[in-house]
Amino acid sequence: MRRPENAAVLAIILILLAGVSFFAGQSFGNARTVTQTSTSIASQTTIRSISTVVVTTNPPPITSTLTSLLMSTITSTLTSTTTVTTSSSTTMNTGTGRSIPAFGNLQLTVSLNATSVKSGQGVKINVAMANALSSPNQVTSANRWPLVGLVDYACGTVYYPMGVEMLRGTNLSAASSSYLTLFHPGPQSCPNEPSSGIPSYVFKADSQLAIPENTGEYLSMNATLEVNGYWTWNGIDPNSAVHHFFEPGIYTLAAGDEWGDPVLLQVTVT
């Protein structure tokens, strides 16, 4: 037989449990307690949020609203993370370039096809001048080159008002005396600059096309060269010239125009 006190204890426990169940689902006036648990998985990480809120019974239950808010917050975070990752990857794979405002409402642009190449591989360089105005633009020549030795091809600059050069390291104070000879120093078949010089350039609107004065024709102020090394020679006999691949290290690509505007980029050779 059960002892009376055990039966009494059991009865009290049952009453308490019933009371708790009644309390958990009971409304008090116009409010009730809602407990919500929602789980979202992002990048193989489970995020669990448990919240207890007190809301009115009118309007309808807020459980679905809370779930929607939580899910939209997580979705927004994931979208932002994906965008940053993609942007970083794209920048690394497409090389590098830079444009700057130049004298006379012009724009000087220089670019490389890669920021890192292996020794023996070629690096492609592009340099250009463009009119930033939506109307024709005549700019007077200045001959204020920021560096000595700027070239667009084997003949130097000739008709072009811009050029590039390469040097080892990042010591630009030595650029005018230690730039690398990118083309064979022997005789080249080059166009002649007009005897009266080029007093100005007349650019088309929003264009790289310009007429170097005294030439009578539009030319594209855009030059591309691909080099994989440099030449050394005795300065007297071009036959003494020897070609060398770029050795491993950091190189600076310097670009400039005749109005004194410089642009710098770096390339690493491994």
Q: Could you tell me if residue 169 is left (phi over 0), alpha (psi between -120 and 50 degrees) or otherwise beta? A: left
Answer with the one of 94, 120, 153 that is the final residue of a domain: 94
Q: What is the pLDDT of residue 194?
A: 87
**What pLDDT, on a 0 to 100 scale, did the predictor assign at position 80?**
28
**Model-wide pTM > 0.85:** no
Please say whether the beta carbons of 217 and 202 come within 8 A: no
* Cβ atoms of residues 110 and 266 within 8 Å: no
The pLDDT of residue 136 is above 60: yes
State residue 133's pLDDT score: 98
Taking residues 154-175, report their average pLDDT: 86
Task: Look at residue 44 and tell me if it is in a domain.
Answer: no
Q: How many domains does the chain have?
A: 2
Q: Which pLDDT tens digit goes with each residue over 27-61?
A: 333 333 333 333 333 334 333 433 333 434 444 44
- Asked if the model's pLDDT at residue 212 lies above 60, the reply is yes
Asked if the structure places residue 214 within a domain, the reply is yes
Asked whether 217 and 268 are in contact (CB, 8 A), the reply is no
Omega before residue 161 within 30° of 0, cis: no
Question: What's the angle, vertex CA 65, arms to CA 61 and CA 68, rounded to 5?
Answer: 150
* Shared-domain flag, residues 103 and 160: yes
Residue 82 lies in a domain: yes
Contact (Cβ atoms closer than 8 angstroms) between residue 262 and residue 176: no
Q: Are residues 157 and 255 located together in one domain of the fold?
A: yes
Distance from C-alpha of 20 to C-alpha of 3, rounded to nearest angstrom: 26
What is the three-class DSSP state of 93? helix
The Cα 264–Cα 148 span in angstroms is 15
Confidence grade of residue 170 (pLDDT, cut at 50, 70, 90): confident
Residues 141 and 173 in one domain: yes
90/115 same-domain check: no
* 87 and 191 co-located in one domain: no
Q: Clarify whether residues 88 and 216 are in a common domain.
A: no
Q: Which residues sit opposite 188 in a β-bridge?
A: none
Range of the domain at 240: 96-269
Helix, strand, coil percentages in the chain from 3-state DSSP, rounded to 5: 25, 40, 35
Q: Where among 66, 94, 122 does a domain terminate? A: 94
Whether residue 180 is contained in a domain is answered as yes
Instruction: Indicate if the pLDDT at residue 143 is higher than 50.
Output: yes
> Of 67, 94, 121, which residue constitutes the final position of a domain?
94
Report the CATH number that the domain containing residue 169 is assigned in CATH.
Answer: 2.60.40.1930
Residue 129 tokens, joined: 């001048």
Asked if 118 and 246 sit in the same domain, the reply is yes
User: Is the pLDDT assigned to residue 1 strictly greater than 70?
Assistant: no
Residues 197, 181 share a domain: yes
